[in-house]
Structure 1
Amino acid sequence: MADPTPVIDDLRAESDELDRTVAELEAERWSLPTPAPGWTVAHQIAHLAWTDRAALLAVTDADAFAHEVEKALAAPDRFVDEGAEEGAGKPPAEILAGWRAGRKALADALRAAPDGARFPWYGPPMSAASMASARLMETWAHGQDIADAIGAVRTPTDRLRHVARIGVRARDYAYGVRGLAPPAEEFRVELIAPSGELWAYGPEGAPQRVTGPALDFCLLVTRRAHRADLAVHATGPDADRWLDLAQAFAGPPGAGREPKGGTP
């Protein structure tokens, strides 16, 4: 089994970076709307805190987490929004303190998990490394929503490799969540990391290919930017179709972002 320590360390770094961003905001700016309809900056951080608590429950008390899954199944269209709404009305300092405490408790639990342990989740069970990767992906994606809301420009890091890997591995899920059959053959994905390193996935000679900057690919698969605004390119009709569907997160794809130029 993969050692989860590096990704847990990267999750901490990603969370700390976002923490510094929101901690510097005046209290009134926590009510700024973000690109997620109906969600303010406060909703974004409250949602991260809520999901960290759910993940901690999955790692430490599978029976109690099963009850949370039942709640989600009973209200699949509302439970995510309700989780964010639950904490968003608190003062910013209280939201931030809760997120800090919850993410530390989750990191400690993941570090202490036995080798090979797998934990229940809203989708397939996850290892400690997979759980940390998923939390990093969501932290980065919601951090982008906040950056867009406050007009900040983030400097990408090679922590994006975790987001990119999930996006590649979730290819078939993106088809399945839309009721479509995925292509039978693997794709080749080649991404240029922020450091300049090449990240490659899939058979080298595959005719269906995707290339581009890792940052743009991660914005695409988290649906934080429209494909028309990104330098991600496809070779082959199946790869081209995938770029219209790709998503790295579980659940419905949502409306996504409109292109900056206004083209449908």
Structure 2
Amino acid sequence: MVEVRAVQAVLEDLRAEGEALDALVAPLGAEGWAAGTPAAGWTVAHQVAHLAWTDGRALLAVRDPDGFTAELGGDLAELAASVDKGAAAGAAEPYARLLARWRAGRDALLEALGAAPPGARFPWYGPPMSTASVATGRLMETWAHGEDVADTFGVRRAPTARLRHVARIAVRARDYAFAVRGMAPPAEEFRVELAAPDGGLWTYGPPDAAQRVTGPALDFCLLAVRRRHRDDTAVRAQGPDADRWLSVAQAFAGPPGAGRAPAADGGAA
């Protein structure tokens, strides 16, 4: 019962995150959908098309795990190529059709995840994931690409408690962030303390850990989805390995990409 309630809670957060981005892109006309975003070569349409493509992959993994596994690529380069191809194909659609397809895919994925039996696990680009983990991953990516769209138009979205999902993924993906760059993960655990949007504190890791990361949850999440350079955040590290982590932190699977350059004026990019 606890697991069911936890899944329902993250599914509601995933729904809300999708609706928040939907409200940002739906009023845009053709010119807005064709606007270039901070991701080089990607328009707003590319951002939404990428989410629609990845939602579709997640839906396949939930509905047809064997079919997903049969289509699974072999390495990160192949995954990156598939992502780019999916985004480009979707971006070529009329924006109204793309928007409708993205909405339908979001609804179908939410329905499929809600109907999954307790304890189910699904294949993905890495270790198999639970229902809650699939939903959390989709929320993280929806929020991250929503930041790209928001930055395109100079919109500053108020952070919400939904960021706790992004922060948790980033903390759990610490060792992956090192490994995907061919670096040995640190041997010891870190303490992470993040100032939540509601004034509370989100904590991870042992309280007495020698190496620590502290700062606003929003800044940490922006850093972990590589939408801000660390120099443009108020996230701070204590200890050499924790400091190194802030330069490689990554909450998503696949190649790290170029990330954001420091803002020219020292502010947020």
Indicate the TM-score class for this superposition, using the shorter chain for normalisation.
over 0.9
1:181-200 CA distance string (max 9 Å, x none)? 11111000000111111000
Is the alpha carbon distance of 1:71 and 1:184 closer, same or farther for their aligned partners in structure 2, counting shifts above 3 Å? closer
Q: What residue is the counterpart of 2:62 in the other structure?
A: 59
Q: What residue is the counterpart of 1:16 in the other structure?
A: 19
Is the alpha carbon distance of 1:241 and 1:73 closer, same or farther for their aligned partners in structure 2, counting shifts above 3 Å? closer
Q: What residue is the counterpart of 1:205 in the other structure?
A: 208
Residue 244 (1) aligns with residue 247 (2): yes
RMSD over aligned Cα, in angstroms?
A: 1.5
1:116-155 matches, cutoff 5 A: 116-155=119-158
Deviation at 1:166, TM superposition (A): 0.3
* Separation (CA, whole Å) in 2 of partners of 1:191 and 1:74: 33
Is the alpha carbon distance of 1:214 and 1:74 closer, same or farther for their aligned partners in structure 2, counting shifts above 3 Å? closer
* Separation (CA, whole Å) in 2 of partners of 1:113 and 1:237: 42
* Native 8 Å contact 1:71 1:79 kept in 2: no
Deviation at 1:77, TM superposition (A): 3.9
1:109-139 CA distance string (max 9 Å, x none)? 0000000000001111000000000000000
* Separation (CA, whole Å) in 2 of partners of 1:186 and 1:71: 31
* Native 8 Å contact 2:32 2:44 kept in 1: yes
Q: What residue is the counterpart of 1:34 in the other structure?
A: 37
Q: Which amino acid aligns with 1:124?
A: P
Residue 253 (1) aligns with residue 252 (2): no
Is the alpha carbon distance of 1:183 and 1:70 closer, same or farther for their aligned partners in structure 2, counting shifts above 3 Å? closer
* Native 8 Å contact 2:80 2:255 kept in 1: no
* Separation (CA, whole Å) in 1 of partners of 2:206 and 2:30: 50
Q: What residue is the counterpart of 1:84 in the other structure?
A: 87
Is the alpha carbon distance of 1:73 and 1:195 closer, same or farther for their aligned partners in structure 2, counting shifts above 3 Å? closer
1:169-248 matches, cutoff 5 A: 169-248=172-251
Q: Which amino acid aligns with 1:148?
A: D
* Separation (CA, whole Å) in 2 of partners of 1:208 and 1:228: 19
User: Which sections of structure 1, spanning at least 5 residues, go unmatched?
Assistant: none
* Native 8 Å contact 1:72 1:79 kept in 2: no
Of 253-262 and 98-107, more deviation after overlay is shown by 253-262
Choose the corresponding residue for 1:4, options 2, 7, 27: 7
Deviation at 1:73, TM superposition (A): 7.0
Q: What TM-score, normalized to structure 2? A: 0.95
Of 1-10 and 101-110, more deviation after overlay is shown by 1-10
Deviation at 1:72, TM superposition (A): 6.9
Q: Which amino acid aligns with 2:249?
A: A
* Native 8 Å contact 2:194 2:217 kept in 1: yes
Count of residue correspondences: 263
Deviation at 1:26, TM superposition (A): 1.9
Deviation at 1:70, TM superposition (A): 3.4
Deviation at 1:24, TM superposition (A): 1.2
Q: Which amino acid aligns with 2:241?
A: D
